Amino acid sequence: MPQGLPRKLRFVFLLQAALVSLAIVIGVSLACAVAVRVLIDARLRAEADEYWSMRAADGAYLLPRTDAIEVYAAAPRSLPDDLPAVLRPLSPGIHRLPGFGRYALVDERPAGRLYVSMSFAHATRVLWSGALVLMLTAMLALYLVTWLTYRTSRRLVAPVSWLADEVSRWEPDTVDAARLAPERIPGDAGSEVRQLSGALRGLSDRVRAFVQRERDFTRDASHELRTPLTVVRVATDMLLADPGMPVHSARSLQRIQRAGRDMEAVIDAFLILAREARVAPQEEEFEVREVVLDEVDRARPLLAGKPVELRVTGDAAPRLQAPPRVLGVMLGNLLSNACVFTESGSIEVAIADDSVVVRDTGIGMSPDILRRAYDPFYRADPFAAGGKGMGLSIVRRLGERFGWPVSLDSLPGRGTTATIRFGTG
C-alpha cells in the first residue's frame, strides 16, 4: 500500500513517455515523407522546365542520360523509340518506379512529351537518416526530462508514502506519535506534509486516549454493574428459600430475579459490543442445545396465564466455539419478543445443525414495521407493554460481531420466524 502512489506515478510517467515517443515517431515520419515527396516533385519539374527552356534556345540540345537521370522526348501524343518499357504505360504526372528511390515525370506540353526518370535514393537516405537522428534526439531529451520529473515527483511524494506506511502499522495500543515527528519525515517535506503529520500526531493521541477510556470503561463497568446485581440475586434466592414467604411476595421476588437476569444479559451484550472488534472475548466450546433449553426455561414465566405452548424441536446437536452468553442473549431477546407478542398458539424453537429458529403464532409484523425492526429504540406501538425497542438491535449487532447473521420473516396475523444462522465467526 505505501508504494501505491510512487507506482502510480511511475506508470503515469512511463505511459506519458510512450505516448509522446509514439507521437514523435509518427510526426517526424510524416514530416519526412512529405519533405521527400515535395523534394522529388520540385526536382523533377525543375528538370523538365530546364529541358524545355534549353530546347527552346537550342533545338539540337542533347537529352541528359546518366545513372541518376534519364530524359526522353517525343512529339506530342507519341512515344520515343528508345523509351524503356517501364515508362511506356505511364500517363502524364509523377510516378514511382520499381527500385528504391526512383521516380519518373511524364510532362505533356504542346511542344511534345517529355519523360524524366531520376533516382533519389541518396537524397531519400539522407532525409530519413536525418529524421532518425531527429527522432532519437527528441526521444532521448524526452526520456531525460521524464526521468528528472519523475525523480522530483517521487521525492515530493516520498513523505506522503512514508506517512502512509507508518499509519498502516498503527495499533490502538501501540500508537507512538513521536514516530511522526517532522524531523523524521524523509524527502522534501513541505508545509502541507508537516501539517498532515501534526494532524496525525493529534489523532494518534486521541485514539490512544479513546482506547484507554474504552478499556477503563469495560473493566469498571464489568465489576461495578455486576456487583449489585449479584447482591440482588443472592438476596432474592435467600428470601425465596424461606418456607414462610407469602405467595404474592414470592411472585414479586421471582419477577425481581427475572429482571436481574435480563439486566445481566443486557450488560453482557453491551460489554461485548463495547470491546474492540479485534479483541475477542473469552471463548469456550459449548452445546447449543444446553443454551436453548436454559433460555426456554427462563422464558416460560413470561407465558404465565397465556394459552401458548413453548416447545423445543430438532435432534441436531451443534457445538460452537464462542462465548455461550452471547447466544443466550440473542435467544433470550428473540424468545422475549415471541412471548410478549404471542397471546395464543405456540412458540417453537427448532435446533438444526447450522441454525436455531424461533417461530411464533403471534401478531406478526407488516413489511413497513419489519424494515425498521432492527432500528434502536423503534417500537411499532410505543404505548404497548414490553421492552424499549433495543432487543432486536442488540441481536443483530451481536450476530454481526460473531458471524451469526439473523433474519426475520413475518406477516401480520401469521406470526414471526427469526433465524440465527451459525457462520464461521
Q: Does residue 207 lie within any of the structural domains?
A: no
177: Cβ contacts below 8 Å, ≥ 6 apart: 200, 201, 204, 205
Decide if 164 is inside a domain: no
388: pLDDT confidence band, cut at 50, 70 and 90? very low
Q: Is residue 355 in a domain?
A: yes
Q: Give every CB contact of residue 380 below 8 A, 6+ residues apart in sequence.
A: 365, 369
Q: Residue 327 domain-assigned?
A: yes
Number of domains present in the structure of the chain: 2
Residue 412 near residue 363 (C-beta atoms within 8 A): yes
State the average pLDDT for the chain.
82
Q: Domain range for residue 32?
A: 4-144
Residue pLDDT, tens place only, 128-137:
999 999 999 9
Q: How far apart are CA 101 and CA 96, in angstroms?
A: 8
Phi-psi region of 292 (alpha: psi -120 to 50; beta: other; left: phi over 0): alpha
Reported as a single tens digit per residue, the pLDDT across 301-318 is: 888 888 999 999 999 999
Higher pLDDT, 167 or 325: 325
d(CA 389, CA 382): 9
What pLDDT is attached to residue 382?
A: 42
Which three cell numbers, joined as nine digits, stand for 198? 501534526
- Whether residue 212 is contained in a domain is answered as no
| CB 291 within 8 Å of CB 299 | no
pLDDT at position 385: 45
For the chain, the farthest-separated pair of C-alpha atoms sits apart, in whole angstroms, at 155
Whether residue 124 contacts residue 68, with contact meaning beta carbons closer than 8 Å, is answered with: no
Q: What pTM value is reported for the model?
A: 0.50
- Within 10 angstroms of residue 353's Cβ, the number of other Cβ atoms is 11
Q: Is residue 84 part of a domain?
A: yes
In the numeric block, which cell numbers belong to residue 138? 527528441
Contact 220, 271 (CB under 8 A): no
Tens digits of residue pLDDT in 2-48: 456 677 778 888 898 899 999 999 999 999 999 989 999 999 999 88
- The three cell numbers of residue 61 are 540540345
Give CA separation, 419 vs 286, 292, 310, 404, in Å: 19, 13, 17, 10
Distance (Å, whole) CA 107 – CA 71: 11
Domain boundary among 144, 161, 185: 144
Which comes out higher in pLDDT, residue 55 or 141? Answer: 141
What pLDDT digit, counting tens, does each position of 68-100 carry? 888 898 888 788 888 888 888 889 999 998 888
Residue 357 — very low, low, confident or very high, per pLDDT cuts 50/70/90?
very high
Q: Is residue 391 part of a domain?
A: yes
Residue pair 231/260 in contact by the 8 Å Cβ criterion: no
* Tens digit of each residue's pLDDT (9 = 90 or more) over 135-166: 999 999 999 998 888 888 777 777 777 777 77
Three-state SS at 316: coil
Distance of alpha carbon 303 from alpha carbon 258, whole angstroms: 13
Of 109, 144, 179, which closes a domain?
144
- Other C-beta atoms closer than 10 Å to the C-beta of 5 total 16
Cell numbers given for 422: 451459525
Q: Residues 73, 75, 81, 84: is their CA dihedral positive or negative?
A: positive
3-state secondary structure at position 215: helix
Cβ contact 253:240 at 8 Å: yes
The long-range contacts involving 235-240, CB below 8 angstroms and separated by at least 24 positions, are 236/260
CA–CA distance, 378 with 387 (Å, rounded to integer): 10
Sequence-distant (≥ 6) Cβ neighbours of residue 155 within 8 angstroms: 187, 188
Confidence label for 275 from pLDDT (cuts 50, 70 and 90): low
- Domain termination site, one of 106, 125, 144: 144
- CATH number of 310's domain: 3.30.565.10
Confidence bin at 276 (pLDDT 50/70/90): low
In a domain, residue 47? The reply is yes
- Tally of CA atoms within 13 A in the half-sphere of 303 that contains its CB: 23
